[in-house]
Chains A and B, each alone.
Chain A
Amino acid sequence: MADVTQSISLLEQIRLVSALRWRILRNSLRKKNNRLDLIGMIFTGFFGGILVLGLSFAFYAGAYAFLSQGRLEWMPLLFWGIFIFWQIFPIFVAGFGANFEFRTLLRFPLSLRAFYIIGLAYGFADFSAIASVCWLLAMTAGATAAKPGLLPAMLLIVATFMLLNVTIERLIGSWLERLLSRRRTRELFLGLFILSMVSLNFITPLMQRYGASARPAFLRLLPYLAWLPPSLASRSLATVTRLQPVGFLLNFVILLFYLVLFSALLWRRFAAQYRGEELSETAAPARATVRPIAAIHDGPDRLSLLSPQVAAIVRKEFRYLTRNGFAYLTLLMPPLLILIFSMNSAGWHLTAGGRGVSAEIFFPGMMAYLILILMAPAYNSFAFEGRGIQTYFTAPLRFRDVFLGKNLMLVAVLSAEIVLSLVMLAWRVGLPSAHTLVATCAAIIFTIIGQLTVANWSSLTFPRKMEFGQMRGQRQSGMAVLVAFGSQILMGGISAVILFTGNWTGNPWLPAEAFAFLAAAAVGGYFASLDALTQLAEKKKEGLIEALCR
């Protein structure tokens, strides 16, 4: 008869889970690429630490000043700042978190209570939670320094506020997890998220135009905020300061009510997970239907100029593009950015402030910026291939065909984007002079084709798998980012020198001629590089397959 396992204490379970996460991190550092990433993490941690420490002083000073000067009406600002950071920041940094599925713990003999408490404890391990706890403690220290008698009340309020925050954060995380378990929802959500981030750029022009009329509506909204947790925590503290026990009791009880309410909701969510909530979206087997084979239409092949392999890759790339919400957004960006920048600071179609930038500068500048954005994915062009990468090595083709297909698709998309942007620029800012237009177009060819050669090399040398519509764990290889950055700086530097020389010599057509020569050289260099890249692909195939088939 096998031994029956003994149940272990909650603390021991938390310790085991922490040790597991640590080992996952430590083992991941055995790979060279992950060790390079660690350097990035250390830098991020260092600057994050400075931010937390600096803001801790600010919260300490704020709490001290508001309480010692009796300006209690300002205290809600501090609580609201922490509350918003604690709830919003985890969504922003989701991509940088360690890839660990909390729900996998359910296979072990955990009670629902233990599962719930471990879940909450996990919430305290996030950067937003650690930073917020530091700031709340700094506020407590500041409040105590100003009025020592407030310490017990402050500790009580802050502890409740912390617990409430972590509960809400876990609840939002859990709802999001359920919402995002379906691929289509996940992609839609990611798209909306990025779009809303981009839309933030419209705030300044909109405020300039409608700010005055929107203010009364905003002020009418303020009293309702008073019944939300940050305001309640602040009012609880204010009532203690003013020695109003009934007021304290009322506000604190409402705060506790929020805690109980959100805890109950979180318990419900965790209980559903604990019972084995099925979030999978895999298609269930269906009865096969007998279907007549469709008539074959051998219409004209629109890609007949290309070899079958290159045409197949172009088609595949096009399908991948149309099924990638994020790529769609990238394509939406150029006209949107032109709209935003032209609203803020360009040309004779001014909207505010009379800060005009002429089309002579705005046009090439905007084109350079668009290429900067649109070329970035090319430096890790196999990111979304996944296990499919093996097909490129088992099929009877030379790897140059893979690059040709991928690069052709990218150039086609870039061309469409640039034409669209040109139209937008003509509408919003106007076109520049003929020599600037020709020089910019030649420079576009030079920078795109010149970068393609480097980007293809980078894609083979620093591959990193990425998943469609996912935020967590979606990072480019640090080295690929560096290569992209360096290559773009080089291209930008060469272009700047040429433009400056044209200006200095007083010959307006010189940049156009120089860029035309460089563009021709870049095209020649690109085709010359394809065979070398085919050989490199053969050398790098094992690393490439390993990185993408994980």
Chain B
Amino acid sequence: MPEVAIQTQNLTRKFGDLTAVDGIDLQVTAGQFFGFLGPNGAGKSTTIKILTGLLAPTSGSMQLLGVDFAANPVEVKRQIGVVPEGMGLFERLTGSEYLKFVGRMYGLDRVTTQRRSEELLDFMQLADRPKTMVADYSHGMQKKLALAAAVIHGPRILFLDEPFEGVDALAAGALKALLARMTERGTTIFLTSHVLEIVERLCSHVAIIHKGRLVAQGSLEELRAGISGEAGTKTTLEQIFLSIVGQDGTERPQLEELSWLM
């Protein structure tokens, strides 16, 4: 039986009266490239924050690689890498200093930290600015550095919140190849993105969250099977997404209301 990387039971998070995450039961198998989708404000970032320890759940429980997060957070965090919303960089360090800092925070020895930092900076094409502080990096460069920091300790689960936003096509291609290679070697990747084409191309499994509730979960094939498309054509993830999220008819704004614009 395949190892379960992420498992949640009735995971709930409330902000006052608002229930941002409403009783989610999530299951991600180790080695999956998992896409977590949802419209704006659906609860994607809140879920990822809970799963990475940045936010405490109001109720429910979760296990990562079979370890209960609440009981042993340090052990769980050792196994995961995160690119959080806003990237979480220390802007007054250079790229190299930041990677070395993160490597040491994850308990790597100095030699390994230095070697991996330099390899990652080269791979991310950030090595030509050794003295530039992160504050002076462009958005895309910061994103690449955040990704490098998330993988420096060789995590078994990688959480990526909008990882390709602001990254140029060249770097994005290299990153996708790297991530695909990581999943081949058993790393589980949990990714949120608004770009459905990217998710469709990279992910083997997808979950869709809507208004805090998990409304679909499974492999792309399983989700396609649940949607009736035109005969002879392959249903795209966008069609699946729209049919699930917009099925109550209230989600898609009526263009007739904007007649003055047309």
A residues neighboring B (CB under 8 Å): 2-3, 183, 281-291, 293-294, 296, 298, 301, 308-309, 311-313, 315-316, 319-320, 323-324, 384-391, 393-398, 468, 538, 541-542, 545, 549
Residue-wise interface mask of B (127-162) relative to A, using a CB-CB cutoff of 8 A (1 in contact, 0 not) = 111001101111011000000000000000000000
Cβ–Cβ contact A309 & B105, under 8 A: yes
Q: A289 — which chain B residues lie within 8 A by C-beta?
A: 127-128
Which 3 interchain pairs have the tightest Cβ spacing?
A: A390-B88, A388-B90, A312-B104
Please tell me if the beta carbons of A288 and B127 are within 8 angstroms of each other in the complex: yes
Q: How far is the CA of A23 from the CA of B29 in the complex (A)?
A: 49
Name the contact of A291 in the complex, choosing from B84, B92, B127 (C-beta under 8 A): B127
| Contact residue among A388, A390, A398 (Cβ-Cβ distance under 8 Å from B91) | A388
Closest to A2 in B: B261
Q: Chain B residues with Cβ under 8 A from A397's Cβ? A: 74, 77, 105
Nearest CB in chain A to that of B108: its residue: A308
Closest CB of chain A to B60's CB: distance in Å? 17
Shortest beta-carbon distance, A382 to chain B, in Å?
11
With A and B bound together, what is the CA distance between A183 and B92 in angstroms? 11
B215 on interface, CB distance cutoff 8 Å: no
By CB atoms of chain B within 10 A, which of A286, A293, A309 has the most? A293
Contact between A396 and B107, CB atoms less than 8 A apart: yes
Query: In the complex, are the beta carbons of A538 and B56 less than 8 A apart?
Result: yes
Residues of B within 8 Å of A2, CB to CB, are: 260-262
Pairwise interchain contact A309-B77, C-beta atoms closer than 8 A: no
Task: Report the Cα distance A144→B62, complex, angstroms.
Answer: 79
Q: Which listed residue, A285, A290, A291, A398, touches B138 by the CB 8 Å rule?
A: A285
Q: Are B86 and A549 in contact (CB under 8 A)?
A: yes
CA distance A324 to B133 in the complex (A): 13
Inter-chain CB contacts under 8 Å: number: 132
- Collect the chain A residues with CB atoms within 8 Å of residue B100's CB: 312
CB distance from A67 to the nearest CB of B (A): 56
Q: How far is the CA of A105 from the CA of B243 in the complex (A)?
A: 40
The answer to whether B129 touches A388, judged by C-beta atoms less than 8 angstroms apart, is no
Q: Report how far A284 CA is from B168 CA in the complex, Å.
A: 13
Q: Decide if A391 touches B127 in the complex (CB within 8 Å).
A: no
**In the complex where A390-B86, A549-B86 touch, is A183 in contact with B135 (Cβ < 8 A)?**
yes
Kindly state the separation between the CA atoms of A316 and B119 in the bound complex, as whole angstroms: 21
Pick 11 A–B contacts, CB within 8 A, sort by A: A282-B137, A286-B128, A296-B114, A313-B105, A319-B97, A320-B92, A387-B91, A388-B89, A393-B53, A395-B77, A545-B54
Give Cα distance in the complex from A397 to B127, angstroms: 28
Contacts of B53 in A (CB 8 A): 393-394
A324 to chain B: which residues have CB within 8 Å? 92
Contact across chains for B54 and A394 when beta carbons are under 8 A apart: yes
User: How far apart sit A382 and B127, CA to CA, in the bound complex (Å)?
Assistant: 29
With contacts A319-B97, A386-B91, A396-B77 taken as known, whether A293 is within 8 angstroms of B52 at the C-beta atoms is: no
Q: How far is the CA of A237 from the CA of B107 in the complex (A)?
A: 76
**Count class of interface residues, chain B:** 35 or more
A319 to B93, CA, bound (A): 7
**Would you give the shortest CB distance from A522 to chain B, in whole angstroms?**
29
Contact at B52–A394, with CB atoms within 8 Å?
yes
Q: Please determine whether A294 and B93 come into contact, CB atoms closer than 8 angstroms.
A: no
Per-position binary interface string of chain B over residues 64-107, scored 1 when its CB falls under 8 Å from any chain A CB and 0 otherwise = 00000000001111101010101111111100010011101111
Q: Does B9 contact A (CB under 8 A)?
A: no
Asked if A293 contacts B136 (CB within 8 A), the reply is: no
Q: In the complex, what's the smallest C-beta–C-beta distance from B146 to chain A, in angstroms?
A: 10
Most chain A beta carbons < 10 A, residue from B108, B119, B137, B138: B138
Is the beta-carbon distance between A312 and B105 smaller than 8 angstroms? Answer: yes
Q: Which residue of the partner chain B has the closest CB to A394?
A: B82
Which residues of chain B have C-beta atoms less than 8 A from A468's C-beta? 92
In the bound assembly, the distance between CA atoms of A3 and B261 in angstroms comes to 7
Q: Which residues of B contact A386 (CB under 8 A)?
A: 89-91
From A294, A298, A394, B118 is in contact (CB under 8 Å) with A294
Taking a contact as CB atoms under 8 Å apart, the answer to whether A308 and B104 are in contact is yes
With both chains docked as a complex, state the minimum distance between the C-beta of B236 and any C-beta of chain A, in angstroms: 31
Known A286-B128, A388-B91; judge A312-B138 contact (CB<8 A).
Answer: no
A296 with B115, Cβ < 8 A, contacts A386-B90, A396-B77 known: yes
The chain A residue sitting closest to B140, CB to CB, is: A285
User: How far does the alpha carbon of A301 sit from the alpha carbon of B122 in the complex, in Å?
Assistant: 25
Residue among B80, B125, B132 making CB contact with A283, cutoff 8 Å: B132
Complex interface: chain A residues within 8 A of B75 (CB): 396
Partner of B90, one of A301, A391, A545: A391
Q: Are B56 and A308 in contact (CB under 8 A)?
A: no
Bound together, the chains give a CA A541 to CA B125 distance in angstroms of: 34
A64 to B113: give the CA distance in the assembly, Å: 76
Known pairs A296-B111, A323-B133, A549-B86; A3 contacts B105 (CB<8 A): no
Given contacts A296-B114, A396-B74, A396-B106, contact A282 B138 (CB under 8 A): yes
What is the CA–CA distance of A109 and B146 in the complex, to the nearest angstrom?
38
Q: Could you tell me the distance between the alpha carbons of A448 and B84 in the complex, rounded to whole angstroms?
A: 36
Is B260 in contact with A3, judged by CB distance below 8 angstroms? yes
Task: Tell me if B110 is interfacial: C-beta within 8 Å of chain A.
Answer: yes
Since A284-B138, A291-B122, A316-B90 are in contact, a sample of 12 more A-B pairs with Cβ atoms closer than 8 Å, ordered by chain A residue number, is A296-B111, A323-B92, A323-B133, A385-B90, A388-B88, A390-B54, A390-B82, A396-B76, A396-B105, A396-B106, A397-B74, A542-B56
Considering the complex, give the chain A residue whose CB is closest to the CB of B103. Answer: A312
Complex Cα spacing A315 to B80, Å:
24
Which chain B residues border A315 with CB–CB below 8 Å?
A: 101
B107: chain A residues at CB < 8 Å are: 308-309, 396
B74 proximity list for chain A (CB < 8 A)? 396-398
